[in-house]
Structure 1
């Protein structure tokens, strides 16, 4: 008996989601014994690069498609084209097209439930401090942010618009996170990546999205993969598992 799979597909904000207190690890805990939550996060990747590995991450030969896929890209695509992280930049229209290609590939496997997650907002001052700490010498390149909220907002809007057009749930982190007090310092450790508190916020918002838009995937609606130990017949254990074979 195979458990259903939730696949988390994204960049470093997904890759690091299984760190202590991470939103992906919290999701795995929420669905323990019900779902295998699989981390497919690729630090530094943008949607242009990830298209080349998509057929291997989601092979068409997979017999049972994921029950749910989260698609969480944009933080790297939105790197400014003339600054420190220019190599990661993807124009917003291409980003939108790449997201559509990813969604269509996942849907071609038979997966119906997909959640698009927008890139989160930034603390631009913290990004400058972080970049300067990475370089021994402060240069012109590290004195200005390599990402900005005004630019990232275009990518968040594109992801949200695409989700709405496709009728998919969307978790709009760019809008939701700034609603919290002191989010720049409480939720972001380097102006971009999440602190434990930021991860908790992402988890809570994702769970809320699932409960609202995909109620059939709420943890309480799913069964454990095998019977509780309390239901095992100690005199004839085998018969307790017949229906699960």
Structure 2
């Protein structure tokens, strides 16, 4: 399955108030692994930033002044995401802004969901961690994803981080479908236009020291309550009888 991790940066929080997209970042996954392909574009918004928005992204109107507007890159962007499953954190926000940009170009462009299916990682996180903070930073901390290099919000960087978070969130899910074997897999990749040599290792999330300590404490409580844990092997008396 071809998946696209997508993020946008905008001039404010609501497209209904005239805010626009100023940055789009996309990272492509194939079979849940980074393919090495990505899409990244800064955009000239022709509107000012809302108070606080500029500080979040670090972008300025001066920097964006010579960048293309959305109309100039729309076809290339849509070609990149066409037919993919989009992975977005708080999808309603990004889709609202992108659909608004498309609507300005005419009804023939439709909506993003006319071209792609969408998975909202915020909804996944709320289902897995109900009642907890599920921002991207909070999920990075909870799932052991390194985001120490995230000083400002940036669409491409956030998409890369979200890719690691998505893999961690869904790590218990096995890929469905038939095993085509090495030759079949190579043929499928070639048919899809992918270079297998570009496929990068899957992200691996390791438990932190505090998580391992908490796990060990939980096991000890279970031992005290039950008197024995199956994962410790047979009881001494059982071993003696054997």
TM above 0.5:
no
Q: Whose Rg is larger? A: 2
Query: Given the two structures, how large is their TM-score scaled by the length of structure 2?
Result: 0.32
Q: Which structure has greater strand proportion?
A: 2
